[in-house]
Amino acid sequence: MDTWIKLNASTAGKDKLSRLVQYLSRLVWHNLESRKHLRDTVDRIKVLESSLSTFRKLLRLGKSLEVLYGALRTLHLPDLMLRVTLTLSRIYQFFFLVADHIIWLGRAGLYEINRDRWANLSNRFWLGSIIFNLIRDAYEILQLCRKKLKCPDLGPCVYRGLPVVRHVYNHVPAARPLVLFAEDHRDVFWDSVKNLFDVWIPLANLGHVRLSPGMVGLCGTISSCAGLIAVLDPLAKIAPT
C-alpha cells in the first residue's frame, strides 16, 4: 500500500505506472491476436493501450517548459561531458514533448494535424534524447571503471541481496561483475537498462529496425520497470538529471 501511495502521489509515478500498463497491454494483445476466439478481448486491450497513451500525453502537458528550464541548469555543470550530453538530451526532449503536446491536441479533436508527420517528428526527437542519455551512461560506466582500476577492492566480494539474484551470483560466475555493479551502482545500472530498452521503440516506430508489436511491448515493459525502480528507490535515481 505504501508503494502505491508513493507512486500515486506524484505525476512521475502515475506516468511510469501508466506506461508500464500501456506497453504490457501491447505485449499481451500481440500474443493473443492469433487466437480468433479472443478477438473482442484483443480489441479491448488495444483500446486500453490507446487510452493510456492519450492519458500520459495529458499528464505531460506543460512539461516541455520544465525540461527546457532543466537544460538551462545543465549548461552550468562543471563536467564537460555531462554538460554536453545532458543539455542536448534535454533540448531533444523539449522538442519531443512539444510534438507530443500537438499530437494530444489532435487526438482530443481540438486541432487538425497530420498525425503521421508529427508522430514521426516525435519519434526522431525522442530517439535523439535517448542516444545522448546512452552516451552519458557509457561515460558514467567508464568513469566508474577508472575508479575501480585506481582503487581495487581488497578481499573477496560476497553478494547478500535478493535470494534469486544471490543464486545467480553464486552459480553463474560470469554474471558476478554485473550483479555487483547493479548492487553498488544502482543509479547508473537502472538508467542504462531503461535507455538500452527504450532506444528500440523509436527505432522501430521510424522503421530503422523491424520489431513486432510484442517485442516493442516487451522493451517498453522492461524500460518502464527500470523507470519505476528509479522512482521508488532514491539510490536508483541517477544524478544529475
The counts of H helices and E strands in the chain are 11, 0
Separation CA 189–CA 10 (nearest Å): 23
CA atoms within 13 A on the CB side of 85: 17
Angle between helices 176-184 and 186-198 (to 10 degrees): 110
CA 83 to chain centre: 21
Separation CA 122–CA 42 (nearest Å): 27
> In this predicted structure, which of 8-12, 25-29, 34-38, 142-146 has the lowest mean pLDDT?
8-12
Residues whose CB falls within 8 Å of the CB of residue 74, separated by 6 or more in sequence, listed in order: 82, 83, 86, 87, 90, 240
CA atoms within 13 A on the CB side of 84: 7
Separation CA 229–CA 218 (nearest Å): 17
| Joined grid coordinates for residue 105 | 491536441
Q: Residue ranges of the alpha helices (H) in 60-185? A: 63-74, 80-107, 115-150, 163-171, 176-184
Percent of the chain whose pLDDT exceeds 90: 63
pTM of this prediction?
A: 0.88
Question: What is the tens place of the pLDDT at every residue in 119-159?
Answer: 999 999 999 999 999 999 999 999 988 887 766 554 445 55
Question: What is the tens place of the pLDDT at every residue in 230-240?
Answer: 888 888 889 88
Is the pLDDT confidence value at 24 over 90? Answer: yes
Separation CA 123–CA 156 (nearest Å): 46
CA-based nearest residue to 179, from 161, 198, 195, 197:
161
- Chain length of the chain: 241
